[in-house]
Structure 1
Amino acid sequence: MTDQVANREVKLPRITIKYCTQCKWMLRSAWMQQELLSTFQTSIGEIALVPSTGGLFQVRLTYVPQDANGQAVAEAKDVLIWDRKVEGGFPEAKILKQKIRNHIEPDKSLGHSDTPSSKVNPNSQRKEGSAEGSTAGRDQQPGMSTGTNEPACEDCI
Structure 2
Amino acid sequence: MNRAPRLEIEYCTQCRWLMRAAWTAQELLTTFPKELGEVALVPGTGGVFDVSLDGELLWSRKAEGGFAEVPLLKQMVRDRIAPDRKLGHSDRKESDPQHAGDVNL
Match among 2, 5, 23 for residue 13 of structure 1: 5
* Alpha-carbon distance between aligned partners in 2 of 1:60 and 1:119, rounded to the nearest angstrom: 24
Alpha-carbon offset, residue 10 of structure 1: 5.3
Alpha-carbon offset, residue 18 of structure 1: 0.2
Match among 73, 76, 80 for residue 103 of structure 1: 80
- Name the aligned partner's letter for residue 24 of structure 2: M
Match among 110, 115, 127 for residue 92 of structure 2: 115
Instruction: Give the count of matched residue pairs.
Output: 97
Q: How does 1:67-86 map to 2 (within 5 A)?
A: 78-86=55-63
Which aligned segments of 4 or more residues in structure 1 are displaced greater than 3 angstroms? none
Percent of pairs with identical residues: 53
CA deviations over 1:44-82 (Å, ceiling 9, x no partner): 0000000110110000001xxxxxxxxxxxxxxx31100
Structure richer in strand, relative to its length: 2
- Name the aligned partner's letter for residue 3 of structure 2: K
Residue 22 (str. 1) matches residue 6 (str. 2): no
Residue 40 (str. 1) matches residue 32 (str. 2): yes
* Alpha-carbon distance between aligned partners in 2 of 1:119 and 1:37, rounded to the nearest angstrom: 24
Alpha-carbon offset, residue 116 of structure 1: 3.0
Which structure is larger by alpha-carbon Rg, 1 or 2? 1
Residue 87 (str. 1) matches residue 79 (str. 2): no
Ranges in structure 1 where 5+ consecutive residues have no aligned partner: 1-8, 63-77, 121-157
* Alpha-carbon distance between aligned partners in 1 of 2:81 and 2:56, rounded to the nearest angstrom: 11
Structure number with higher relative contact order (C-alpha < 8 Å, ≥ 6 residues apart): 2
- Name the aligned partner's letter for residue 54 of structure 1: G
* Alpha-carbon distance between aligned partners in 1 of 2:18 and 2:38, rounded to the nearest angstrom: 17
- Name the aligned partner's letter for residue 84 of structure 1: R
Ranges in structure 2 where 5+ consecutive residues have no aligned partner: 95-101
